[in-house]
Amino acid sequence: MKNLLWVLIIVGLGWASIKFAEYYKSVKRQSEGPTPEEIAAKQQEMPSLTPQLESSLQQAKSGATADLKAWLDRHGPSIQDPRKADIELDYVQKLALSDPAGAKRLFATVKARIPPDSIVYARVKKLAKIYQ
């Protein structure tokens, strides 16, 4: 009987340690935020642009900050969220190098516009640590 009690205690401690490890991994995964694969998958769900707009956007992103600003001024009104917010967040990151205060202001407007169930909300939450 004494040996059976020891076996039950050891099995119970093993089970408890496995459950604790699973809980710890889930908490750690939630605190880290989405993985790059999850972000890429969500970006696939975003509304796409026309091929002409997509190519001009890529050119503007590869150019100077002013190029992306001009692209947003020209095409921004015709693009809807969440795609527009994603592009504006790219602009915020480029703008932060030359005008940190302006980047914070623009980030605040994007953050106020994006609901928590949006595809880009995870990115907004991640960048909030930097631009608050």
Q: Does 60 lie in the same domain as 45?
A: yes
Burial class from Cβ neighbours inside 10 Å (0-12, 13-18, 19+) for residue 45 reads exposed
In the chain, pLDDT over 90 holds for what percent of residues?
5
Between the alpha carbon of residue 79 and those of residues 2, 4, 75, 127, the distances in Å are: 73, 69, 7, 22
Q: Does 73 lie in the same domain as 44?
A: yes
Q: Does 107 lie in the same domain as 67?
A: yes
Who wins on pLDDT, 132 or 11? 11
pTM of the predicted structure, to 2 decimals: 0.63
Closest CA to 123 of 43, 26, 29: 43
Q: Does 92 lie in the same domain as 49?
A: yes
Q: Does 63 lie in the same domain as 124?
A: yes
Q: Does 80 lie in the same domain as 17?
A: no
Full residue range of the structural domain in which residue 94 is found: 34-131
Q: Are 106 and 92 in contact (CB under 8 A)?
A: yes
Total domains in the chain come to: 2
Q: Does 38 lie in the same domain as 25?
A: no
At residue 42, does pLDDT exceed 70?
Answer: no
